[in-house]
Structure 1
Amino acid sequence: MCGRLSQYSSIHDFVAALSMPYALINYAGDQPFELYNAAPSTQLALFHQEGQFLRADMVRWGWRPHWVKDRAAPINARVKKVAHGAFFKAIWLHRAVIAINNWFEWVDEGGPKKQPYLIRRKDRAPILCAAIGQYPNAEHGPSEHDGFVIITADSVGGMVDIHDRQPVTLSPVLACEWLDPATPQERAEQIVLLQREPAEAFEWYKVDRAVGNVRNQQSSLINPHQ
């Protein structure tokens, strides 16, 4: 995953996609986010479950433990290492979901510049990505150390031609199970390792190279480009 995505719907559209029965604690606002070209360090709407509530906060994309000083905050965590490595140990139990509209990848097609592609669900429904992070809760407000990473896995099916890694995306049922604090750690690991959505649920197409400039945020960036 190259590090660019879109989150332009409203929090209520994303809640509807999750189909969770719990009441929403909403710190993300009610208006559409209109983030068509979000880059690392952007504040994005992140879901986690807090008791019998679903909570949404704006959290920075990217996280590193406090003891790491010599590298930028990663934005992704490899699924085969995240549950057992020391780097993400502090946040492995802090499961979250980031709902997005699409993400972008860049492909070397032999030209002077790589060609960007947009990947989205064929049914246009929000994409529910497994994540972990450090984020506000009932006991602690926002902190400068807050952040999250998206869990990624090897690409499968035709998506391999676009990029060798992709976000771990979950069905609404599995996303709710992933968010549930009562879900055992072993089961959570099984969900992200073995039960992500198939490549057949997605489609991809070329978009304008203007998406490469993070200053460009216009809605036309998600349109097909020949």
Structure 2
Amino acid sequence: MCGRFVQKSPASEMAQAFRTSNPLPNVRARFNAAPGQEIAVVRQHPETAELSMDLLTWGLVPYWAKDRKIGWKTINARAETVATAPAFRSAFEKRRCIVPADAFYEWTGTKVGSKQPHAIAMKDRRLFGFAGLWENWKDPATEQWLRTFTIITTRANETIANLHERMPVILKPDTYEEWLAPDSDVRELLRPYPADEMEHWMVSPRVNGSALDDAEMLNSL
């Protein structure tokens, strides 16, 4: 799964990497991004096909949901069932997105309070993009619109398998356009990223606290 990640690159760098054209949102650096937070996401405009970077809330709320609480259960979508699961199938067909990331976290250990976090990133520390989905949801009580997203996961590659059995789907840059095009058959893209391009290292247990968020999170122990 993917329950925490890092999005520390400046908005201008993310805009260049993902070729977005809209005015830059006020994006804060996140070293411990957590569900329920507003995070920068790249989407394709359905009419102009231009790419935009916008702030969406992590935890997808399907358009048919009665309330937003379901978002806590939908921070991830499994690659094996994303095309058929009721919460995700509509977004998978029409509303795919890319979530820029600099790293993400996984844990080893079994006891609550004693799990050891590990940071996982590209060996050259380059910015990359998770395969995601986004959704519009109208709150029936307030009639206000909420835009949310989820990150798709697949089986772990050899680098991550000793930490967790699953990992986020990471897209190669030359597949970004294909992934975002609503009419593309993208099922072949839902695969583990090459293990030899990635590495992991132990980091401070401070990552375990979702309220903590600073650059020291990535320091190696």
Tell me whether 1:175 sits opposite 2:176 in the alignment: yes
Q: How many angstroms apart in 2 are the aligned matches of 1:120 and 1:5?
A: 10
Q: How many angstroms apart in 1 are the aligned matches of 2:110 and 2:220?
A: 17
* Aligned residues of 1:26 and 1:57 also touching (Cα < 8 A): no
| TM-score (normalised: structure 1) | 0.84
Aligned equivalent of 1:208, options 174, 187, 204:
204
* Aligned residues of 1:154 and 1:164 also touching (Cα < 8 A): yes
Q: CA deviation at 1:123?
A: 1.2
Query: What's the counterpart of residue 58 of structure 1?
Result: 55
Query: What's the counterpart of residue 140 of structure 1?
Result: none
Paired amino acid for 1:210: R
Tell me whether 1:45 sits opposite 2:40 in the alignment: yes
Q: CA deviation at 1:52?
A: 3.8
Q: How many angstroms apart in 1 are the aligned matches of 2:146 and 2:73?
A: 11
Q: CA deviation at 1:148?
A: 0.4
Q: CA deviation at 1:161?
A: 0.4
After the TM superposition, which of the residue ranges 162-171 and 84-93 deviates more from structure 2?
84-93
Identity %: 27
Unaligned ranges ≥5, structure 2: 138-143
| TM-score (normalised: structure 2) | 0.85
Query: What's the counterpart of residue 11 of structure 2?
Result: 11
After the TM superposition, which of the residue ranges 154-163 and 202-211 deviates more from structure 2?
154-163
Q: CA deviation at 1:191?
A: 1.8
Q: What is the SS of the residue equivalent to 1:163?
A: coil
Q: CA deviation at 1:53?
A: 1.5
Q: How many angstroms apart in 1 are the aligned matches of 2:59 and 2:151?
A: 9
User: Residues 108 and 25 (structure 1 numbering): CA distance in 2 closer, same or farther, change over 3 Å?
Assistant: same
Tell me whether 1:24 sits opposite 2:21 in the alignment: yes
User: Residues 90 and 109 (structure 1 numbering): CA distance in 2 closer, same or farther, change over 3 Å?
Assistant: closer
Q: What is the SS of the residue equivalent to 1:125?
A: coil
Query: What's the counterpart of residue 125 of structure 2?
Result: 124
User: Residues 150 and 2 (structure 1 numbering): CA distance in 2 closer, same or farther, change over 3 Å?
Assistant: closer
* Aligned residues of 1:61 and 1:147 also touching (Cα < 8 A): yes
Q: CA deviation at 1:89?
A: 2.3
Q: CA deviation at 1:216?
A: 1.4
Q: What is the SS of the residue equivalent to 1:104?
A: strand
Query: What's the counterpart of residue 153 of structure 1?
Result: 154
User: Residues 47 and 112 (structure 1 numbering): CA distance in 2 closer, same or farther, change over 3 Å?
Assistant: closer
Q: How many angstroms apart in 1 are the aligned matches of 2:121 and 2:179?
A: 21
Q: How many angstroms apart in 1 are the aligned matches of 2:60 and 2:197?
A: 29
Q: CA deviation at 1:85?
A: 2.0
Unaligned ranges ≥5, structure 1: 137-142
Q: How many angstroms apart in 1 are the aligned matches of 2:196 and 2:174?
A: 18
Query: What's the counterpart of residue 188 of structure 2?
Result: 190
Q: Give the RMSD, CA atoms, in angstroms.
A: 2.4
Q: How many angstroms apart in 2 are the aligned matches of 1:111 and 1:44?
A: 27
User: Residues 130 and 112 (structure 1 numbering): CA distance in 2 closer, same or farther, change over 3 Å?
Assistant: closer
Q: CA deviation at 1:83?
A: 0.9
In the alignment of these two chains, the number of paired residues is: 210
User: Residues 213 and 86 (structure 1 numbering): CA distance in 2 closer, same or farther, change over 3 Å?
Assistant: same
User: Residues 3 and 53 (structure 1 numbering): CA distance in 2 closer, same or farther, change over 3 Å?
Assistant: same
Query: What's the counterpart of residue 140 of structure 2?
Result: none
Q: How many angstroms apart in 2 are the aligned matches of 1:14 and 1:60?
A: 18
* Aligned residues of 1:61 and 1:75 also touching (Cα < 8 A): yes
